[in-house]
Amino acid sequence: MARSDEEVLDEIVDDDIHSGEVAGDRSGSDAEAVGESDGSAGRLAGLFSLKAFLLSTVLIAVGVVGGGAIPFVGTLGSLGGLFVAAFAIGLVASERRYLETALAGGGIVGLSFAASLLTTGVLPVGMRFFREYGLAFGGLGVGLGVVVALLGHYFGRDLRDGLTREI
């Protein structure tokens, strides 16, 4: 199985620290790049992956657009597509990616809610509604997106755990 970039970097850092080099012997930029021997780089490594975030964003966008394309369902279809996409990410991903999935889900649904308000903005009543409640409506979309993405990812991870666990 292929190792991730973070695992390779952690191995290189551990080899350098344990090979007898002292962090104080290095120049300031090397010591900052590798991290001091207090383990702060190890604790934060793997917290956020840009690749996982971009992949989550693409898959969630496809799910939201696909779910929203179902006639007569509208926003509920978009949220259902978000759930299915986040579920698939949790099912397929070998590592937990809650942060990336939540950020992608909140961003995509927030943009989707804001775009849906823009279609009513051509009407005088819609423009007034947009001015008064647009930001709150977008915030509601971000909140719903984060919650639904986290639930979908959690249930996908739970199913993956159940399928891969030894009996």
Backbone angles phi, psi at 27, to 5 degrees: -70, 165
Quick one: 85 and 10 in the same domain?
Answer: no
The reply to whether 142 and 73 lie within a common domain is yes
Judge if 10 and 75 occupy the same domain.
Answer: no
Q: Do residue 121 and residue 105 come from a single domain? A: yes
Q: Which residue has the higher pLDDT, 116 or 41?
A: 116
Tell me what the mean pLDDT of segment 72-90 comes to: 90
In terms of C-beta distances under 8 Å and separation of at least 24 residues, what long-range contacts does 110-119 make, across chains too? 110/138, 110/139, 110/141, 110/142, 110/145, 111/141, 112/64, 112/68, 112/78, 112/141, 113/75, 113/137, 113/138, 113/140, 113/141, 113/142, 114/138, 114/141, 116/75
Return the pLDDT at 31: 41
Structural domain count, the chain:
2
Q: Are residues 87 and 107 in the same domain?
A: yes
**In the chain, how many H helices and how many E strands?**
7, 0
pLDDT score recorded for residue 16: 46
Residue 24: the pLDDT is 44
State which residues form the domain around 111: 50-164
Q: What is the pTM of this model?
A: 0.67
Secondary structure (3-state) at 164: helix
Please tell me whether residues 56 and 84 are part of one structural domain.
Answer: yes
Same domain, 59 and 18: no
Average pLDDT over residues 84-90: 94
Q: Strands of 100-145 (E only): list them.
A: none
What's the whole-number mean pLDDT along residues 14-41?
Answer: 46
Q: Please check whether residues 59 and 90 belong to one and the same domain.
A: yes
My answer on whether 89 and 15 are in the same domain is: no
Residues comprising the chain, all counted: 167
Confidence of residue 129 (pLDDT cuts 50, 70, 90): confident
- pLDDT digits over 88-109, tens only? 999 998 888 899 999 999 999 9
